[in-house]
Amino acid sequence: MNPLLPLSPEDEVRRLQLQASIDQGEETPAVLEELHRRAIASRKAQQMPKKALANVLERDFQASIIEAAHLHGWRVHAERPARTAKGWATPIQGDPGFVDIVLVKGTQLLHREVKTERGFLTADQAAWILALQEAGADTGVWRPGDFPRILETLRGA
């Protein structure tokens, strides 16, 4: 369950029913819209002052994006860091700095780096984004203040 979208037991049952309907190919736009309104309201993304947006954690924001993407039928790849004796690390093989989320739906492929409102790209992240853009990929950075636009993107594909 998404930590930014606390659901009552009734809402969780409704979410599971919605997911089953989506999995069976049924259209449920009214329920999807309700869940998105709830997501926006819970973060108060449209009215939230920049100070409050600055407090949204990257992991929580990413979890919200993943949940919204799944509700709209996207396939999502994201990696989570693991705690090690030396702190947090994400095991990889290859060049560091790859984007946080890769989303695919139909013919659309999105590569997105997820950052807090004040977060900065590392040199490795910037290099990956530039390389992906040069290859023609739809690549960018998403921040909590972008959430309404993110929902539009996920809805519109």
Q: Is residue 21 part of a domain?
A: yes
Q: Is residue 59 part of a domain?
A: yes
List beta partners, residue 142.
Answer: 114
Query: What does the alpha-carbon distance between residue 147 and residue 53 come to, in Å, rounded to a whole number?
Result: 11
Residue 45 sits in a domain of what CATH number?
A: 3.40.1350.10
* Containing structural domain, residue 57: 9-156
**0.75 exceeded by pTM:** no
Q: Is residue 4 part of a domain?
A: no
Q: Is residue 71 part of a domain?
A: yes
Q: Is 141 exposed, middle or buried (0-12, 13-18, 19+ CB in 10 A)?
A: middle
Q: Is residue 27 part of a domain?
A: yes
CB atoms within 10 A of CB 36: 19
The answer to whether 123 and 151 have CB atoms below 8 angstroms apart is: no
Q: How many domains does the chain fold into?
A: 1
pLDDT in tens, 15-69: 666 666 666 665 555 655 666 555 555 545 445 555 667 788 898 999 999 999 9
Sequence-ordered list of residues with C-beta below 8 angstroms from that of 125, at least 6 positions apart, any chain: 97, 99, 113
Q: What percent of the chain has pLDDT over 70?
A: 66
Q: Is residue 126 part of a domain?
A: yes
